[in-house]
Amino acid sequence: NEAFSSVWVVGEAQRVRPSSRGHVYFELVEKGDRDEIVGKLDAVIWKGDFVRVQRLLAASEQKLVDGVQIRCRGSLDFYPPGGRLQLCVREVDPAFTLGLLERRRRETLAALAAAGLLEKNRGLPLPDLPLTLALITSHGSAAYHDFLSGLTESGYGFRVLFFHAAMQGREAEREVVSALAALAGMAVDCAVLIRGGGSRTDLAAFDSRAIAEAIARAPFPVLTGLGHEIDRSIADLT
């Protein structure tokens, strides 16, 4: 490991798990063309380094979470009794992740525009008072409770069909797309896709092409409320 005392490594963070002592363990993986894992390396950020890394990421509204692509610098440590090779991360490059997210965002917007899907859903008629709603969000979240409370206080007789979906992390894309697909044959006035505020990495799922295409092709209007008012994901633009 003396030959690799300081190396830069790029990969997708998976199985991010903080320890009770303040250290953060995760895996760095490399994926092939079919999204299969072709390489994997155990990694750790010790408590003292993680405080600094966390502060640096927060300055650009990022977090170390499952599914995010990162570029990090560290040293390789080999533990002979267990035969384990581990990357001890000292530094994370926030500009790398931001640049990658922005490039993917531009590519997705261009692909949607070329397919005639941008703002397609907005052309669907929406009743002046849509009473039958499909709510897609995380069950028990602040967004879930705030939305239902608002409907109750309105005094109108809303009918709500609820579909749970993760609003961040590796399952968000699949579960949101699945919820919209399940609604395709149901008689609803519109669907409402909402979540509260968060970092750019928290909201990254809603820049995905799969979610944007599912919204664009939905046979009913889809209303979105994702993050704070200043946040504009691709899902909001579809």
Task: Give the single-character DSSP code of 122.
Answer: G
In the predicted model, what is the mean pLDDT of the chain? 91
- State how far the Cα of 39 lies from the Cα of 9, in Å rounded to an integer: 12
Cα dihedral 55/56/57/58 (nearest 10): 50
Confidence category of residue 207, pLDDT binned at 50, 70, 90: very high
% of the chain surpassing 70 pLDDT:
98
Q: Which tokens is 109 given?
A: 């917007």
Element of type H or E holding 48: helix 47-59
Residue 170 has pLDDT above 60, yes or no: yes
pLDDT 10s digits, 25-51: 999 999 888 778 899 999 999 999 999
pLDDT 10s digits, 109-161: 999 999 999 989 999 999 999 999 999 999 999 999 999 999 999 999 999 99
CB 25 within 8 A of CB 42: yes
pLDDT 10s digits, 84-100: 889 999 999 999 999 98
pLDDT 10s digits, 63-79: 999 889 999 999 998 87
Residue 4: the pLDDT is 64
3-class SS of residue 135: strand
Residue 61: the pLDDT is 86
Q: Which tokens is 179 given?
A: 């919820």
- State how far the Cα of 91 lies from the Cα of 72, in Å rounded to an integer: 6
Residue 231: the pLDDT is 81
Place of tokens 């092939």: 32
Rounded to whole angstroms, what are the CA distances from 200 to 75, 164, 238?
A: 28, 22, 19
